[in-house]
Amino acid sequence: MSKPTRASVAIDRRAAADDEELFRLYGQAFSAGLAASSRERWRWQYLANPQNAADGPEIWVAREGERLLGQYASMPVRLWWGDSEVRSSWGMDVFLREEARGLGLGARLFTAWSDHVPVALGLGLTPSSYGLFKKLGYHDVGPVPFFQKIVDPVAVATRRLGPWLGPLAGQAMRPFLTTPETAATDVETRPITGFSVEYDTLWQEAREGYAMCVRRDAAYLNWKYVSCPSHDYDILEARRKGALCGYAVSRHGPYRGLELGWVVDVFTRSNDVACREALLARVLDDFRAGGVARAQAFSMNAALGASLRRFGFFRRRSPMQFCVKARAPAERVFAARDEWHVVFGDSDMDR
């Protein structure tokens, strides 16, 4: 098949008729198995998103005549940015046919996406995407801080040292891993299966405590954590004297011989330390009950990071690079990056 030229390729929005060919190209770029398993997630991620515009998912394609050459897909969100909500989106799935590479189409797809929204967000970037983002003038604000906590030192040590030395080493570690994990007595936590309209009010009241945060209203939260087809999340809400004050989302499962727990999201008013730490204490209790050996979390927010450290989490090298391009007023927002709320549940990091 002939190699396309720069002049012969157009960039435009995905049409519904493109879907089957895009799935086929996805399979060529990655694997047929991945393409098949991704269809349900794709429908959820792109078709069911409550922030979709009337003209459908925000997916840009490169095409030469009737032939599709690749795509750049994004996840639209509403974003609290400084002192107001703006349209935004997370950039994610990108691929090109082999014969279409080297023509600058990746940069054209990225630009078509970022020019469409006041704030474009790129999280968890591959080395090639990270380099291209910086080349195109995106602001490098990452990496998002990464935290780990050993919950069961015997399990961790046994995994590393074997069944003879591991238990002894794990027991010896216990005194050094004990941390205070008391919860506020006036905050009650409980598991829930869905987010009520009260979360719309919580979002309206809490958002001004952050310099940057994706709108976490009931529609978004139910779509992101209740309807997600690839994970079953454990959801906790916290109340003080009956009034909603926050939530936490977590999950755990086996990974390389250990039960790994993820603190996916914790959201409260930014200054409500007691509510935030009551939720963290309950998540860690649930992790212990579930046999979790190690807990992990990402948090760009300094207040949440401080709570994680108080509960025995340690900073580790982060693989989550983060770049942003803003056409909305940005100077004050970039100066307050410790007040950004970005966690593992954002974008499509946990999929």
What pLDDT, in 10s, does the model give residues 169-226?
A: 667 777 666 666 665 678 999 999 999 999 999 999 999 999 999 999 999 999 999 9
Phi, psi (deg, nearest 5) at residue 65: 65, -120
Task: Report the CATH number of the 6-140 domain.
Answer: 3.40.630.30
Q: Which residue has the higher pLDDT, 36 or 349?
A: 349
Q: ∠ CA 101-346-51 to the nearest 5 degrees?
A: 85
Residue 62: helix, strand or coil by DSSP? Answer: strand
| CA dist., res. 145 & res. 20, Å (int) | 38
Are both 6-140 and 146-317 of the same fold?
Answer: yes
Q: Is 30's pLDDT higher than 70?
A: no
Helices (H), 238-351: 273-289, 302-310, 331-335
Mean pLDDT lowest for which of 134-148, 170-184, 218-232, 270-284?
170-184
Give the pLDDT mean for 52-62. 91
The predicted pLDDT at position 94 comes to 85
Instruction: Name the residue ranges covered by the structural domains of the chain.
Output: 6-140, 146-317
Residue pair 181/279 in contact (Cβ under 8 Å)? The answer is no
Residue 167 has pLDDT above 80, yes or no: no
What is the structure's pLDDT at 231?
A: 93
Of the candidates 96, 150, 101, the residue with the CA atom closest to the CA atom of residue 260 = 150
Task: Write down the pLDDT at residue 330.
Answer: 84
User: What percentage of residues in the chain have a pLDDT greater than 70?
Assistant: 93
The arithmetic mean of pLDDT across residues 21-35, rounded, is 69
Q: pLDDT-based confidence at 321, cuts 50/70/90?
A: very high
pLDDT for the residue 109: 93
- Per-residue pLDDT, 228: 94
Q: What is the overall mean pLDDT for the chain? A: 90
pLDDT over 60 at 135, yes or no:
yes
- Choose the weakest-confidence range: 18-27, 80-89, 267-276, 336-345: 18-27
Asked which of 61-75, 156-170, 188-202 is least confident by mean pLDDT, the reply is 156-170
Identify the CA nearest to 322 among candidates 184, 57, 119: 119
Dihedral (Cα; 325, 331, 336, 340), 10-degree rounding: -30
Q: Are 35 and 104 in contact (CB under 8 A)?
A: no
Of residues 196 and 131, more confidence is placed in 196
Task: Give the three-state DSSP class for 110.
Answer: helix
**Angle between helices 302-310 and 273-289 in degrees, nearest 10:** 50
So what's the pLDDT on residue 152?
A: 87
**CATH 3.40.630.30 for the 146-317 domain, yes or no:** yes
- What pLDDT is stored for residue 288 in this prediction? 94
* 314 CB-contact burial (10 Å; exposed 0-12 / middle 13-18 / buried 19+): exposed
